[in-house]
Amino acid sequence: MHTYKTQKDLELYLDSMRENGKNIALVPTMGGLHDGHLSLVDKAKSLAEIVIVSIFVNPTQFARGEDFDDYPNTFESDKLLLQSKNVDALFLPSKEEIYPHGTLSDYKVGAIGQILCGAFRPSHFDGVAQVVKRFFEIVKPNYAVFGEKDFQQLLIIQSLVKNLNLNLKIESMPTQREKDGLAMSTRNQYLSDLDRERAPHFYRVLCDVRDSILIENSLTDAKKDAIKRLSQNFEVEYLEVLDANNLTQIETKTKEIIIISAIRFGGTRLIDNVVFRRMNV
């Protein structure tokens, strides 16, 4: 596995690959890798001959008081995991390499970035879009792979590619889960033993909402019941039942539905979602 720290060196490598007719897939990460990330790598390997993984903790997507300075750094184990997957290149840029002209950005996500997580982290998705746009400029991949756990982020990145008319395809992978259902996340490392025991309740409640909707119970009642149950163990930031195609309100004929939520407990913020299809509309 090659390791590159500068745009120039990475571009020289990628240009040589393109000259040999190789397609390129990018998996952007902030490190703290787990099996969820590795599923993205597997998907990337199925799409392209050359797989690039980046590790960069992006300052522009963290607000003041968030965990930028404390974000888990597991670089040595991350590197071993990527080597075990035969990743072709690891990109480890500095802040100055990603933002040589400063961190101001002229790209704004818009309304979809102001709801759900965006309502609680107002500058977050503009920062995500900024860094992803920059990685696309550097790598110029044919494909980029993201996880569906960050579903709002996934839609925003798809929108970015469309808005900027970029010549690449966004692929996604389903949320990878622990045996007890907890969505895999780097931030799970923050959980105490007691909180880790409680955390799977989050996913179970979301599944119960899905099951309630599928037997045609009231959406409003299912949502209220879920918030009540979650509030017994967690601080609920939001729980919404929306159209999975665009995160708008469900209409009578909506088939693709997402139950999407964020909670806080024990000083940790977790997000999760369940996507399903109604067959009887």
Query: 52-86, pLDDT tens digit by residue?
Result: 999 999 999 998 889 999 899 999 999 999 999 99
Q: Which residues pair with 171 in a beta bridge?
A: 145
Q: Which residues pair with 262 in a beta bridge?
A: 238, 271
pTM equals 0.95
- Each of the 281 residues of the chain gets a pLDDT tens digit; together they read 999 999 999 999 999 999 999 999 999 999 999 999 999 999 999 999 999 999 999 999 998 889 999 899 999 999 999 999 999 999 999 999 999 999 998 889 999 999 999 999 999 999 999 999 999 999 999 999 999 999 999 999 999 999 999 999 999 999 999 999 999 999 999 999 999 999 999 999 999 999 999 998 889 999 999 999 999 999 999 999 999 999 999 987 899 999 999 999 988 999 999 999 987 76
Distance CA 33, CA 153 (A): 18
Domains plus CATH for the chain? 2-173 (3.40.50.620), 186-272 (3.30.1300.10)
**Positions marked active-site:** 37
Q: What are phi and psi of 135, to 5 degrees?
A: -65, -35
Picking from 30, 33, 79, the residue whose alpha carbon sits closest to that of residue 59 is 30
Picking from 46, 274, 242, 72, the residue whose alpha carbon sits closest to that of residue 177 is 274
Phi-psi region of 116 (alpha: psi -120 to 50; beta: other; left: phi over 0): left
Picking from 160, 225, 149, 211, the residue whose alpha carbon sits closest to that of residue 185 is 149
Kindly calculate the radius of gyration of the chain based on its CA atoms and give it in whole angstroms: 19
Angle at alpha carbon of residue 33, lines to 126 and 38, rounded to 5°: 100
